[in-house]
Amino acid sequence: MKCDEVYAWLQAYLDTAVTPEEERMVEKHIRSCASCRRRLVELAQTIRTLEKAGELTPRQEFTRRLMDRLQQERGAEREVSK
Amino acid sequence: MRLLTTRRELTDEELVGRSRDGDQDAFARLVGRYEGKIYNLGYRMLGNREEAEDITQETFLHTYRALKSFRLEERFSPWIYKIASNLCLDRLRKLKHSAASLDARVGPDGDIPVQVADWSSAPDRLYEESEARADTQEAINELPPKYKVVVVLRHLHDLSYDEIARVLGVPQGTVKTRLFRAREILRRKLERLYQQMRPDASEGERVAP
Mean pLDDT of the residues in chain B: 81
Question: What pLDDT shows up at residue B128?
Answer: 58
Question: What pLDDT shows up at residue B105?
Answer: 44
Question: What pLDDT shows up at residue B43?
Answer: 93
Domain B10-103, CATH among 3.30.2270.10, 1.10.1740.10, 1.10.287.3510, 3.40.50.300 = 1.10.1740.10
- State the CB neighbour count (10 A cutoff) for residue B171: 11
Candidate from B27, B129, B136 with C-beta closest to A50: B136
Candidate from A11, A62, A74 with C-beta closest to B180: A11
User: Could you tell me the residue ranges of all domains in chain B?
Assistant: 10-103, 104-199
Which residue has better confidence, A20 or B73?
A: A20
Question: What pLDDT shows up at residue B122?
Answer: 43
Which residue has better confidence, B42 or B24?
A: B42
Which fold is adopted by the domain B104-199?
Arc Repressor Mutant, subunit A (1.10.10)
Distances in Å between the Cα of B206 and the Cα atoms of A43, A76, B90, B101 are 21, 68, 48, 50
Local confidence band at B26 (pLDDT 50, 70, 90 cut-offs): very high
Cβ–Cβ below 8 Å for A53 and B44:
yes
The pLDDT tens digits of the residues spanning A14-59 come to: 999 899 999 999 999 999 999 999 999 999 988 988 888 778 888 8
Beta-bridge partner residues of B106: B113
SS3 letters across chain B: CCCCCCCCCCCHHHHHHHHHCCCHHHHHHHHHHHHHHHHHHHHHHHCCHHHHHHHHHHHHHHHHHHHHHCCCCCCHHHHHHHHHHHHHHHHHHHHHHHHHHHCCCECCCCCCECCCCCCCCHHHCCCCHHHHHHHHHHHHHCCCHHHHHHHHHHHHCCCCHHHHHHHHCCCHHHHHHHHHHHHHHHHHHHHHHHHHHCHHHHCCCCCCC
Packed helices A3-14 and A34-51: angle between N→C axes, nearest 10 degrees: 30
Contacts of A31 by beta carbon, 8 Å cutoff, 6+ apart: A37
Question: What pLDDT shows up at residue B119?
Answer: 40
CA distance A59 to chain B (A): 9
Which residue has better confidence, B1 or B52?
A: B52
Which residue has better confidence, B63 or B199?
A: B63
Question: What pLDDT shows up at residue B191?
Answer: 81
Local confidence band at B209 (pLDDT 50, 70, 90 cut-offs): very low
CA distance B160 to B178: 14
Question: What pLDDT shows up at residue B208?
Answer: 44
Q: Which of B142, B184, B185, B191 to mutate to test the interface with A (most CBs of A within 10 A)?
A: B184
Question: What pLDDT shows up at residue B1?
Answer: 55
Its ipTM equals 0.85
Question: What pLDDT shows up at residue A82?
Answer: 60
For residue B166, is pLDDT > 90?
yes
Contact status of A52 with chain B (Cβ, < 8 Å): yes
Percent of chain B with pLDDT over 70: 73
Contacts of B1 by beta carbon, 8 Å cutoff, 6+ apart: none
CA distance A63 to B79: 21
Cβ–Cβ below 8 Å for B156 and A50:
yes
The pLDDT tens digits of the residues spanning B107-118 come to: 444 444 434 344
